Structure 1
Amino acid sequence: MSQVSVVIPAKNEEKGLSKVLPELVALNIVGEVIVVDDGSTDNTVKICSELQVSCISHPYSMGNGAAIKTGARAASSDVIIFMDADGQHQPKDIERIIEKMSEGYDMVVGARDRSGQASYARYLANGFYNKFASWMSEHKVEDLTSGFRAVNAEKFRQFLYMLPNGFSYPTTSTMAFLRSGYSVGFVDIDVLDREGKSHIRLWKDGIKFLLIIFKITTLYSPLKLFSGISASLFVSGVAYYVYTYLSFERFTNMGLALVLSAMLVFLIGLISEQISTLFYKR
C-alpha cells in the first residue's frame, strides 16, 4: 500500500494539532503531513516545527477552502487525506478510508452519524443537505459536509478553481466528482469532541451553505431543478385557470402568467443544462 499525503487546514487550532499530529507522524501509511496555517495567532507554527511537520503559512486568514487548495497543490502523493485540525478526526481511521479507496473509488468520505454532529440543528441541516444532494445526483450521499476524506490527487486538482475559499469545499468537491462521473464512497467514522471553539457560525454559515447547495445544483443538473420549479408553476397556473372558470366563468391573467412563467423557467433550465454539459466536457 503506497503512502499518502495528509493535508490539515488550521486556524488557531494548537490544542487539536498537539493531539493529532503525533498520531499521524507515527502512521506508516502517511508519507507526509502538511499543515496549512491560515493566519493563526497561536503556536501552530511552533508545534509543527517541533514535530518536524511541514507547515505552509498564509500571510492572513484566507478561509478553510483556500487552505485546502494550498495543501492540495503542495501534496506530492497520488492520494490526499484531508482532515480537520480540531481533534475530532481520528488518524486510525485513515487506513479504513484508504482500503475503501483501493476498491476503485476516486473519493472516499468519512461519514458521521448523529453523535458526530456538533448540535441537533447541525444534524438537521446536514440531513437536509444529504437528502438534497442524493436527489440531485441519484447517488446516496451519506455525509456531504464531512471534512475527513481521501481523494485522488490528480482528479481533485481539476476542481480547485471551483472550490470556494470558505467552509464548503466538501460540498463542492463531492458534487463535482459525482457530476464528472468519478466514483464517491463513504466509510462510517466516529468523531471525538473538538478541541477549542468552532469557527463555524450556525446561521450565517448555514445560509452560505444553502446558497452553495443551489449553486452546485445549477452546475450539477440545472434541468432537474428548473423542471421541478417549472412543473409547480404550470400546475398552479392550470389549477388557477380551472378555478376561475368554474367560479367566475372567466379566465384571468394570473393563470396565464403562471403558465408562461413555467415555460420560461423550463427553457432557462434547458439552456443551463447545455452550458453545464459543455462546462464539464473540459
Structure 2
Amino acid sequence: MPKIWLAMSAYNEAENIVPLLESAGEVFRAMDACVEILLVDDGSSDGTAAAARSARLRCPLAIVDHGANRGLRQGILTALREAAERAETDDDLVIFMDSDNTHSPEAIPEMVRRAAEGADIVIASRYLPESRQIGVPWRRLWLSHAARLLFQWRLGLPGVRDYTIGYRAYRAGLLRSALSRHGDSLMEREGFACTNELLLKLAAMGARIDEAPFTLRYDRKRGQSKMRLAKTIFETLKTLWRKR
C-alpha cells in the first residue's frame, strides 16, 4: 500500500477539526496504513491549530501556518503542494478533504483501493448509487446538482459525475507534474470554484479518473458555512465556459 498524505486547509474550524482527525485516525488504524496528516491553518483566530494538536492520533501531524487568511484557493494549493513535495514516491496518495467534518473518512479505504487499480484521481462522489447526503441545505443541493448537469453537458469527462466536490485522492506524481507545469496558476479561481478548475486541468494532462461512493455528513458540521453562494456560481460558470 502506498503512503497516504491526508491534506486539509482550515479557517476557524476548532470545533470541527478534532472529531474529524480522530475519526480519520480510526479509519487509518483499521487500514494499517502508513499515514501523515498535513493541515494548513489559513489564519484562524479560534485556536484551530491548537485544537488539532490536541487530537488523539497515532500518526504524525504537520501544521503549516499561513499567518493570515489567504482564502480557500491558496489554502488548498498550499496543502497539495506541501504534501506532494513531502511524498516519498510518485505513487504516494495525497487525499484532500474539507476540515469542517462533513467529509466522511470512511470513504478512504475504497478510494485507496480504486487508486491501487490504476486511477490517478479518485473522487469521493455524491452521485453514485451508494452515496448519501445528510443534512445538506436545499440551496447547496441545488447548486451542486445544477453544476453536475452543466459540467456533464459541456465536458462529459469519462467516469466523472461529481465535478465540484473537493474530497479527492491524487497520485503524488500527478500533482508534482501539474505544479511543475502550472505553478500557482494550477488554480486561479477563488473560492470553491477552484476545485473544478483543478480537476479539469489534471484531466487535460491525461489523468485517469475514478469515483468512490461516500456519505456527505452536513449534519456533523458546527458553525456557519463559508461558501458565498453567488460568487461560487459566478466563478464556476466562468470555469465551465472557458474550458469548452
Shorter-chain TM band: 0.7 to 0.9
Q: Is the 8 A contact 2:14 2:46 kept in 1?
A: yes
CA offset digits 1:215-270 (Å, max 9, x no partner)? 3x1xxx4xxxxxxxxxxxxxxxxxxxxxxxxxxxxxxxxxxxxxxxxxxxxxxxxx
The structure 1 segments of at least 4 consecutive aligned residues displaced by more than 6 Å after TM superposition are: none
Distance 1:32 1:203, change over 3 A: same
Equivalent-residue separation in structure 1 for 2:136 and 2:239 (angstroms): 21
Partner of residue 155, structure 1 = 174
The 5-angstrom pairing of residues 256-267 of structure 1 reads none
In structure 2, stretches of 5+ residues that fail to align are none
Letter in 2 for 1:176: K
Partner of residue 173, structure 1 = 198
What secondary structure sits across from 1:168 in the alignment?
Answer: helix
Partner of residue 213, structure 2 = 188
RMSD of aligned alpha carbons: 2.0
Equivalent-residue separation in structure 1 for 2:8 and 2:66 (angstroms): 13
Equivalent-residue separation in structure 2 for 1:48 and 1:85 (angstroms): 10
Letter in 2 for 1:84: D
Partner of residue 49, structure 2 = 45
What secondary structure sits across from 2:216 in the alignment?
Answer: coil
How many residues are treated as equivalent by the alignment? 217
Distance 1:181 1:137, change over 3 A: farther
Q: Is the 8 A contact 2:187 2:194 kept in 1?
A: yes
What secondary structure sits across from 2:169 in the alignment?
Answer: strand
Letter in 2 for 1:148: Y
What secondary structure sits across from 1:34 in the alignment?
Answer: strand
Choose between structure 1 and 2: higher helix proportion: 1
What secondary structure sits across from 2:20 in the alignment?
Answer: helix
Equivalent-residue separation in structure 2 for 1:179 and 1:134 (angstroms): 15
Q: Is the 8 A contact 1:108 1:150 kept in 2?
A: yes
Equivalent of residue 38 in structure 2, options 34, 37, 47: 34
| TM-score using structure 1 length | 0.71
Q: Report the structure number with the largest CA radius of gyration.
A: 1
Equivalent-residue separation in structure 2 for 1:81 and 1:61 (angstroms): 22
Equivalent-residue separation in structure 2 for 1:174 and 1:185 (angstroms): 12
Percent identity of the aligned residues? Answer: 25
Q: Does residue 236 of structure 2 align to residue 209 of structure 1?
A: yes
CA offset digits 1:150-192 (Å, max 9, x no partner)? 0012212415522135322320121112222211111111121
What secondary structure sits across from 1:7 in the alignment?
Answer: strand
| TM-score using structure 2 length | 0.81
Letter in 2 for 1:96: E
Partner of residue 21, structure 2 = 21
Q: Is the 8 A contact 2:39 2:63 kept in 1?
A: yes
CA offset digits 1:28-73 (Å, max 9, x no partner)? 3251001101110011111222346211111211111211111122
Letter in 1 for 2:25: V
- 175-184 or 90-99, which deviates more: 175-184
Equivalent of residue 165 in structure 2, options 146, 151, 159: 146
Equivalent-residue separation in structure 2 for 1:152 and 1:56 (angstroms): 21
What secondary structure sits across from 1:191 in the alignment?
Answer: strand
Q: Which has the higher contact order (CA 8 A, sep 6+)?
A: 2
Equivalent-residue separation in structure 2 for 1:30 and 1:119 (angstroms): 36
